[in-house]
Amino acid sequence: MKNKFYVTTPIYYVNDVPHIGHAYTTIAADVLARFYRIRGYDVFFLTGLDEHGQKVQQAAAKAGIDPQTHCDRLMPAFKNLWATLNISLDAFIRTTDKPHQAIVQRCLQSLYDKDLIYQAEYTGWYCTFDERFWTEKDVENGQCPDCRRPVEQVSERNYFFRMSRYQQPLIDHIKSHPEFIRPESRRNEVLGFLQKPLEDLSISRPKSRLSWGVELPFDRDCVTYVWFDALVNYLSALEYLGRTTDATKFWPASVHLVGKDILTTHAVYWSTMLMGMGRPLPESIFAHGWWTVDGEKMSKSRGNVVAPNAMVEQFGVDAFRYFLLREVPFGQDGDFSHSAFESRYNAELANDLGNLVSRSLTMLGNFSNNLVPAMDQKSQTDLDRELAQTASNLFPAIDKHLANLEFNRALETILGLVQLANQYIDKTAPWTLAKDPAQDARLKTVLFHLAEVLRFLTLAIYPFIPTTAEAMRTRLGMTVSFDQALLANLPVWGDYAYTGETTKGTSLFPKNLPKKPTGQAAESSAASTASPKKAVKDKKDNSIPSGGEPGLPPADQIGIEDFMKVQLKVAKILHAERIPKSDKLLKLQVDIGTERRQIVAGIGKKYTPEELPGRTIVVVANLKPAKLMGVESQGMVLAAGDKDVVSLLFLPDDAPPGTKVK
């Protein structure tokens, strides 16, 4: 084992209905947990529920049940969602767990014994909703500055933790540990907060006002303030939910993931509590941003709450995981919209990744009997070397990005390799090689490279989209398991012995997605599907479109709107000449009705410059200009031929130049 990695989410408030925000934090933690596990780290991944406090007590009273029953009823919504989202948690803690409560009491007692907790009369403005006091200067017009509900003046004897004592040590720690609070903007916010005098923290509530909580060990008439109880979960779980009897092994935490709204609670309350207990501080607290929906704040009253279960049902779990981490840099606020989701899905998952996997496995099937051939060193080209080099750079880049919690940049790097691999296929054109027995060694080398790039991608995407990775692993015939530390040593290109058979399978990301569900996406209880419900059946992936390239998968089918983007026009050839030093390229001057164009065409082996002027052909008129052997080409001619040009597409000579071809 290299090292340990301990990642936590906040424990979520049991009264909440799990929404995109909960899913976001938990998926991010899951990606880290999975990544460090296959990197060979000993990982502990903790999430859970905060079940104490006034709101739970009130909701239970309203429902006419005791608070514990209330919690027990709500808990499965979270546990089921984590199962649906493939969250590989190691432990699920509930603050009503008896061992947790005992540990909270032990922590309180130790602070009390050290005289770090004292009793005092306190008068202040109390917000019932937020369960906290505000000082005179915080309150505006008798309202809570946080939630704008009316506050009431309450006077009570409470216990206080001497938080003020740790103000300077905390400032020093933050300043000397740049990684402690991330991102940097949040770190500066906390330092700004700490410029004001830090007051002692009230850590008790009289039972007369709140009974649903952990009883203070030194005063039976009080319960513990919910935050003090909740924060201790990060330590208590290691004692009674850990895989090891050594509770100190995983402490300090590698990273606490929190929403930006609870950063102060973690960076200040939790840190000073730990200082008081004489425990090391976590290595890092990372505050991520919030999601809006179509530019608006998510709220029940607006009816725009994004229900994770509904998203998973519609798009599949991996697409949902992918989108959340791909769309927005972790740490910044993000906006969720169905159109953004669908465009990422179609462009990056269906077209780029799905298509690459489908094309590659089809060709391994068609040209190599579902076996990954060995590479022929002598037939290697620069294209192969570029692909191998880019793939070899992938994991060091992911290492760096994930250490910085830059999930989007890691995915961007992975996508870069996917796109390069698709270009590699286009450039090497294996379907052409397959027709020429003399190219057999070259074909094998290309197919081997495709298998290798899929293997690298399978390992790279696993933490993010594990279901897809598992499907790719199986289809590639890889006989390894993700339970192994597959990336303990970074993979070496060409180093893997393929023994299994490859299989093509169905589309990983079917293109025709069901439309947005109508009405508000209410939380369905436990619907769990690994793949999207398909509006259309998977097309038969083994068929080869007639006249198309063998190995061209249905994912490459286009709609009429795509075809209409290509402007085809009738053109008359005015002049033709050879491009020096090329036996293939001819430079044509053509009339396309509205203007004259210069087009460089690879037709020099079939046609002489003399026979072309006066002929009428078809050109692509809206192709971006490109340079071929230094000569600008402002379009493309249409011709038939798989490898060598068989014939230009000639039209009768009376077709007027500029006429649309459709």
In the complex, minimum distance from the CB of residue 197 to Zn ion, in angstroms, rounded to a whole number: 22
Do the Cβ atoms of 530 and 495 come closer than 8 Å?
no
In the complex, minimum distance from the CB of residue 132 to Zn ion, in angstroms, rounded to a whole number: 7
Question: CA neighbours within 13 Å on the CB side: how many for 598?
Answer: 14
Read off the tokens for 229. 């109880």
Core vs surface per residue 426-463: b (16+ CB within 10 A) or e: eebebbebbeeeebebbbbbbbbbbbbbbbbbbbbbbb
Residue nearest to Zn ion (CB): 144
Pairing of strands 219-224, 204-206: antiparallel
Q: Applying CB under 5 A, does 127 fall inside the site for Zn ion? A: yes
**How many residues touch Zn ion (CB under 5 A)?**
6
Using CB under 5 A, which of 16, 42, 130, 591 touches Zn ion?
A: 130
Segment interacting with Zn ion, rule: CB under 5 A, options 142-150, 291-299, 424-432, 644-652: 142-150
Residue whose token pair is 């040590």 = 169
In the complex, minimum distance from the CB of residue 147 to Zn ion, in angstroms, rounded to a whole number: 3
Shorter beta-carbon distance to Zn ion: residue 57 or 233: 57
Shorter beta-carbon distance to Zn ion: residue 260 or 584: 260
DSSP 269: I
In the complex, minimum distance from the CB of residue 153 to Zn ion, in angstroms, rounded to a whole number: 14
Q: Is 101 helix (H, G, I), strand (E, B) or coil?
A: helix
> Residue 422 is which amino acid?
N
Segment interacting with Zn ion, rule: CB under 5 A, options 69-77, 119-127, 289-297, 586-594: 119-127
Q: How far apart are CA 442 and CA 375, in angstroms?
A: 8
In the complex, minimum distance from the CB of residue 223 to Zn ion, in angstroms, rounded to a whole number: 20
Shorter beta-carbon distance to Zn ion: residue 139 or 651: 139
Q: Applying CB under 5 A, does 226 fall inside the site for Zn ion? A: no
Segment interacting with Zn ion, rule: CB under 5 A, options 130-138, 238-246, 314-322, 629-637: 130-138
Pairing of strands 616-620, 650-651: antiparallel
In the complex, minimum distance from the CB of residue 130 to Zn ion, in angstroms, rounded to a whole number: 4
Segment interacting with Zn ion, rule: CB under 5 A, options 77-85, 97-105, 147-155, 522-530: 147-155
In the complex, minimum distance from the CB of residue 269 to Zn ion, in angstroms, rounded to a whole number: 17
Residue 133, Cβ neighbours under 10 Å: how many? 18
Do the Cβ atoms of 50 and 95 come closer than 8 Å?
yes
Name 60's Cβ contacts closer than 8 Å, sequence gap at least 6.
66, 67, 69, 70, 212
In the complex, minimum distance from the CB of residue 127 to Zn ion, in angstroms, rounded to a whole number: 3
Q: Applying CB under 5 A, does 261 fall inside the site for Zn ion? A: no
In the complex, minimum distance from the CB of residue 180 to Zn ion, in angstroms, rounded to a whole number: 29
DSSP 143: B
- End-to-end Cα distance, the chain: 63
In the complex, minimum distance from the CB of residue 125 to Zn ion, in angstroms, rounded to a whole number: 10
Name 121's bridge partners.
157
Shorter beta-carbon distance to Zn ion: residue 126 or 234: 126
Shorter beta-carbon distance to Zn ion: residue 152 or 426: 152
In the complex, minimum distance from the CB of residue 285 to Zn ion, in angstroms, rounded to a whole number: 24
Q: How far apart are CA 83 and CA 389, in angstroms?
A: 37
Name 245's Cβ contacts closer than 8 Å, sequence gap at least 6.
none
Pick the closest to residue 217 from 99, 114, 108 (CA basis): 108
Please confirm whether the linkage preceding 609 is cis (ω < 30° from 0).
no
Using CB under 5 A, which of 63, 83, 120, 147 touches Zn ion?
A: 147
Shorter beta-carbon distance to Zn ion: residue 144 or 459: 144
Read off the tokens for 455. 């293997």
Q: Applying CB under 5 A, does 144 fall inside the site for Zn ion? A: yes
Q: How far apart are CA 46 and CA 54, in angstroms?
A: 25
Name 285's Cβ contacts closer than 8 Å, sequence gap at least 6.
180, 181, 182, 255, 256, 258, 263, 266, 267
Read off the tokens for 426. 């286009």
In the complex, minimum distance from the CB of residue 71 to Zn ion, in angstroms, rounded to a whole number: 23
Q: How far apart are CA 521 and CA 193, in angstroms?
A: 39
Q: Name the CA radius of gyration of the chain, rounded.
A: 32
Segment interacting with Zn ion, rule: CB under 5 A, options 34-42, 120-128, 155-163, 554-562: 120-128
Q: Applying CB under 5 A, does 131 fall inside the site for Zn ion? A: no
Shorter beta-carbon distance to Zn ion: residue 72 or 130: 130
Shorter beta-carbon distance to Zn ion: residue 122 or 240: 122
Segment interacting with Zn ion, rule: CB under 5 A, options 138-146, 295-303, 370-378, 423-431: 138-146
Shorter beta-carbon distance to Zn ion: residue 43 or 144: 144
Using CB under 5 A, which of 66, 113, 140, 146 touches Zn ion?
A: 146
Shorter beta-carbon distance to Zn ion: residue 129 or 650: 129
Using CB under 5 A, which of 129, 218, 290, 650 touches Zn ion?
A: 129
Shorter beta-carbon distance to Zn ion: residue 143 or 304: 143
Segment interacting with Zn ion, rule: CB under 5 A, options 10-18, 129-137, 330-338, 644-652: 129-137
Segment interacting with Zn ion, rule: CB under 5 A, options 126-134, 261-269, 492-500, 509-517: 126-134
Residue 558, Cβ neighbours under 10 Å: how many? 10
Shorter beta-carbon distance to Zn ion: residue 146 or 246: 146
Pick the closest to residue 443 from 376, 528, 369, 533 (CA basis): 376
Which residues form the interface with Zn ion (CB under 5 A)?
127, 129-130, 144, 146-147
